């Protein structure tokens, strides 16, 4: 496999889930889930700064729902308290099941959170995003996971959909570095792996238990002023992604080959 990634082959929607500076509020725990809680998970923990899931088999709940069964908060299980939340009823994501897997469902909804420990400004440094998303066919720019303020802002990174294809973009005042897939990869589960390491960018899409596509490029722009993390749309709540997100991970580093193999083997096997 490319980049030494082997194993089984392997987002996110509505108006975005975000994290901003401040307190998440009383009564919301930020548990660090132990290996005993998820014995089948093979998730690297070093510099893991955000981790959400739509379901789990542990005592910890994936989120908080209101009386109308809409998601008002998605928990960050990394321990950094970067919970994602939304207080406006009309904009809360709901739940959906695709091919037997539960997901947070985004369709003109968004959920934002108060930032806990981590600021999502990676400057010129390395970072990695891994997510499981079920995308429907949509044109235009759709942010799945981003720290950009809006579709035209001059700073931030975007893992999203562009013209019905997956894209990984790093944008700053100095320009845009972007890599985009050649195929839609829609209407099925995708495990999206995006990594920036030095001046190199890598985007992989895993479907049906195997690596479906890989594109790479060179980073020319830095990622700046990214203090929020938004899922499902840009932080201005425009350009909504439509579909589901089951799990998402953000690392403040480029994962090693061994770490990549561990998380992609687990993710690809689950969402195949």
Among candidate residues 136, 39, 25, the one with its CA nearest the CA of residue 84: 25
Q: What is the band of 5 on the pLDDT scale with cuts at 50, 70, 90?
A: very low
Q: Which residues of 149-160 are buried (b: 16+ CB within 10 A; e: fewer)?
A: bebebebbbbbb
Cα–Cα distance, 163 to 9 (Å, whole number): 24
Domains delineated in the chain:
2-23+44-270 (2.60.120.200)
Q: Mean pLDDT, to the nearest integer, of 162-182?
A: 91
pLDDT at 263: 92
pTM: 0.84
Report how far residue 60's alpha carbon sits from residue 219's, in angstroms, rounded to the nearest whole number.
Answer: 38
| Per-residue model confidence as pLDDT tens digits over 24-34 | 333 444 444 44
pLDDT at 29: 43
- For 32-58, b/e burial (b = at least 16 CB within 10 A) is ebeeeebeebbbbeebbbbbbbbebeb
């Amino acid at each position: 496999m490319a980049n030494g990634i082997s194993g089984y082959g392997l987002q996110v929607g509505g108006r975005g889930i975000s994290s901003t500076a401040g307190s998440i509020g009383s009564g919301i725990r930020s548990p660090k889930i132990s290996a005993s809680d998820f014995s089948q998970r093979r998730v690297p923990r070093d510099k893991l700064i955000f981790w959400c899931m739509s379901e789990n088999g542990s005592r910890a709940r994936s989120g908080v729902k209101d009386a109308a069964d809409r998601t008002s908060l998605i928990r960050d299980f990394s321990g950094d308290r970067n919970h994602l939340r939304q207080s406006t009823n009309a904009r809360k994501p709901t739940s959906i099941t695709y091919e037997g897997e539960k997901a947070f469902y985004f369709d003109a909804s968004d959920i934002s959170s108060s930032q806990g420990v981590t600021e999502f400004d990676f400057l010129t440094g390395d970072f990695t995003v891994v997510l499981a998303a079920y995308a429907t066919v949509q044109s235009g720019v759709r942010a799945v996971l981003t720290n950009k303020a809006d579709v035209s802002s001059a700073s931030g990174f975007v893992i999203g959909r562009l013209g019905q294809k997956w894209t990984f973009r790093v944008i700053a005042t100095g320009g845009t570095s972007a890599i985009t897939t050649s195929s839609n990869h829609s209407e099925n589960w995708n495990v999206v792996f995006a990594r920036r390491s030095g001046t190199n960018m890598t985007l992989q899409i895993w479907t049906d238990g195997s690596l479906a596509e890989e594109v790479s490029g060179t980073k020319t722009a830095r990622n700046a002023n990214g203090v929020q993390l938004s899922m499902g749309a840009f932080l201005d709540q425009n350009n909504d992604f439509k579909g589901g997100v089951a799990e998402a991970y953000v690392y403040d580093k480029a994962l090693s080959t061994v770490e990549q193999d561990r998380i992609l083997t687990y993710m690809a096997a689950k969402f195949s």
